[in-house]
Amino acid sequence: MSSARFLSTVLGRSSTAALSPGEAGEDQTAVRAWANSPVNVEGIGALVGLAVAWQIASHYFPAFLFPPLQTIAATLVSTVSDPAMLSTIGLTFLRIVVSLAGTFILASALGVAAALHPRTDRILEPLIQLKQGVPGVCWIIFSILWFKGMEARIAFIVVISTLPSFYYQVRDGVRGISLELWQMVRAWRPTRFQMLLKLILPALRPTLLTAWRINLGGGTRMVITAELLAGVSGIGYQLRTAEEQFRMDSAVAWTVILVAFVLACDAILKAVERRLRLGAPAPGIAA
């Protein structure tokens, strides 16, 4: 629903046609101001509505299904103020970041190689397609059977699940660099490393940031799932404990922490993206 329609609905007016001309003008100005506001009023309204619905449900259902918001808040505060729990949070976040960084480096190398050497692409393509056909949960089972250590299992699962996305983004990003720019830089006879440093990586920056933003959520999900099914530490393990103890407040508190992590990372990536976009052509600027 558009902002204008939402406002009309909220105000109980089907259209501005029934208003006096002056009133209609003022009303439309208010609608525009609302629509252009940097704060997503509708989104906040939806979240508040959800919280209210939850609170109402907590009055009618037992606490292990819908604990009151104040209980969740208290659990959240006690979780983030407990050093042991903080180290659990840190461990999971470290697993996510390190596994994703490792995957990113590996996939970038493969993606660049595939873009520059068609034979590499022909070798990798069927392997990646085969991987895509195997459900994620199967890889978790394989990791439990193949690896003894928790960290190795998690790293394997994250690499397997996020590598294709990183790989395709990098490969297609390199392929998307214009032939004109390739020729211009090559005419100066750079080394391969210089080519990578001066052209490929800077040209790929927006693509890589997008890949990170896409894979951050996926990587987080896979780490949590691995911890949940095969772990003895981390947020996923804590979620499993909460489930076994019927502690919905604890499960929601851990979920909030995870969501906060993903949103914070996304905000950081967005900020970096904005900074890097300084050099990108802005729409509407005449040549």
Partner 1 sequence: MTMPDLRPDAIIFEDVSKIFSSGQGATIALEKLSFSIRAGEYACILGRSGCGKSTAANLLLGLDRPTSGRVRVFGENPARDFARLRGRLGSVFQSDRLLPWRTAVENVQLPLEILKISEYSLSTSAAEWLTRLGLQGFEESFPHQLSGGMRQRVALARALVAEPDIVVADEAFAHLDEVTGERLRRDFHRLTKETGKTVIHITHSIDEALSLGDRIFVLGKPGHLLAEIDEVPLKDRTALRSYILTHLQGTVRQAPKTAAVANGSSDQATLSQEWAT
DSSP 149: S
**Which are the contacts of 185, defined by CB distance < 8 A and separation ≥ 6?**
195, 198, 199
User: Interface residues with partner 1 (CB under 8 A)?
Assistant: 180-181, 183-190, 194, 198-199, 202-203, 205, 276, 278-282, 285-287
Least separation in angstroms between CB 205 and partner 1: 7
- Comparing CB distances to partner 1, the nearer of 198 and 213 is 198
Least separation in angstroms between CB 127 and partner 1: 27
Least separation in angstroms between CB 188 and partner 1: 5
- Cα separation, 143 vs 240, in Å, equals 19
- Comparing CB distances to partner 1, the nearer of 137 and 184 is 184
Q: Report helix, strand or coil for 65.
A: coil
- Comparing CB distances to partner 1, the nearer of 119 and 189 is 189
**Which are the contacts of 162, defined by CB distance < 8 A and separation ≥ 6?**
100, 103, 107, 215, 218, 219, 222
Least separation in angstroms between CB 228 and partner 1: 41
- Cα separation, 248 vs 29, in Å, equals 45
Return the residue matching tokens 């949070």.
89
- Comparing CB distances to partner 1, the nearer of 75 and 108 is 108
> What tokens appear for 191 in the block?
């080394």
Least separation in angstroms between CB 200 and partner 1: 12
